[in-house]
Amino acid sequence: MTVTVQIALPDIDGNAEVGLAVGTDKGLPDNRKLHVLKTGDRKQKVMYAAASAELMSDKIHDDMMLAAAVAVEKFKLYRKEKNGEGPDCDVIIDEAENATIAAAANNVVLQARVSQILKDKKDVDALMQILACKVTYWQTNHHTGGGRLAHYAKKVFDLKWKGDVGGEQITSDRCTGDVHTVSHWASTCFLLKKLGFKKVRNPASYGEGANFTITDDVKLRTSVFPAGTAKYGACKEALKRLCRMALFAAFPNPQDIVGFLDSCDEIKNNEAEYHVGGEYLSESGVKKTMPNPTLCWRMSAFVRAFYPKTKLAEAAAFGTENQANYEDVFQTWENLCRQMASMALETEIDVSVFAGSAAMKSNGETIVAVMGRLNLNIPDEIKLASNAIAQSHGEAPHFDMRLN
């Protein structure tokens, strides 16, 4: 039986723009893999993939899965494995038509649904969902965050797919399995490369699909550190917050920050190699590792004092169970963090807090270097605190506070 498309299917070719403004992740069982057709024209292939999704059982969000199947074939989201033998994602390429799938593809009701999906650009919404899952995978090594739908994958689902479908209230918790399924129909390497992550290999294609571009709101998500280096990401986020406070002037052994930022740059410049799946994902086929950041204990003390009930405090890097593994223990720093947090001295400063501790070191030059690396201006509060510490050691102030 040959797939015969009787209903117009719009916008299979052309361009699309994808964005919101416009544990180990296991593969799928065979009955959840998407069948795609090796031969045929573009419309036949789209309908064949759609029919394959339509025939799957145990679906919660049928509309999303159907739109995702259309997107996978329309944009050719499946690619070749490293050795060139078979696809690198959970699709099955049928050399000849499966009669059951072909019969379903010829159903004019299904063809009308696919036509409407294309008209409404729901295939682009499905592509956005798949991309969000790849970002989540990059960050957590799991397409849906592990367990219930989480992270960016959940945010996109709630924006694009949550709601009343066929009289039922569809939630992300109910649809985690469906989202996990469709995310596995697309090549991880191809989409991570498309997202702009560095040193990701570019897998060979099975043919040209419709083009799509990724908007800046999605690309902002690529600033996250790869799975396996989350402690670096957490410490850098904490550092950015610390650098806005006078407290930063009293950071012990601040030269460690320069080495930490060097390590961050090394990770970000070769990020696919530092992902836990680096051997598979990277151009080089090499997986690299980094030791714990040298700032973990100090940043933990800061976060626990100033941001105890935030997402940042929940980061594994700052969990109490990890503190014994860190070597950068400075009790005077922890005491100062607690003291300043209790005084709410985030924006205003009593310099006597700093001048009263002989254990603090004068860090003016390092402050300038670090703030330059972070492309940040030095707040007056930090300058005042640094000067107070310098004067307590009998040194000249590092910063000239006179008005220009």
Tokens of 204: 């060979």
Length of the chain counted residue by residue:
404
The reported pLDDT for the residue numbered 352 is: 59
In eight-state DSSP terms, residue 321 is G
Helix H segments across 75-121?
99-105, 108-119
**Measured distance CA(339)–CA(124) in Å, rounded:** 51
Count of CA atoms in the C-beta half-sphere (13 A) of 262 = 7
C-beta of residue 333 within 8 angstroms of C-beta of residue 343: no
All residue ranges of the chain with pLDDT < 70 are 1, 5-26, 164-168, 344-362, 403-404
Residue 32 structure tokens: 């959840």
Domain positions in the chain: 15-222, 230-392
Cβ neighbours around 241 below 10 Å, total:
17
Q: What pLDDT does 22 receive? A: 39
- CA-to-CA dists, residue 121 to 42, 164, 322, angstroms: 17, 19, 46
Task: Return d(Cα 355, Cα 392) in angstroms, integer.
Answer: 5
- pLDDT at position 354, please? 58
Per-residue model confidence as pLDDT tens digits over 288-321: 999 999 999 999 999 999 999 999 999 989 988 8
pLDDT, residue 366, reads 85
* Strand intervals (E) in 88-182: 91-94, 163-165, 168-170
Task: Assess contact for 77 and 187: CB atoms under 8 A.
Answer: yes
- CA quadruple 43, 53, 88, 229: dihedral sign: positive
10 Å CB burial of residue 32 (0-12, 13-18, 19+) is buried
- What is the pTM for the complete model shown? 0.86
Q: Is 192 exposed, middle or buried (0-12, 13-18, 19+ CB in 10 A)?
A: buried
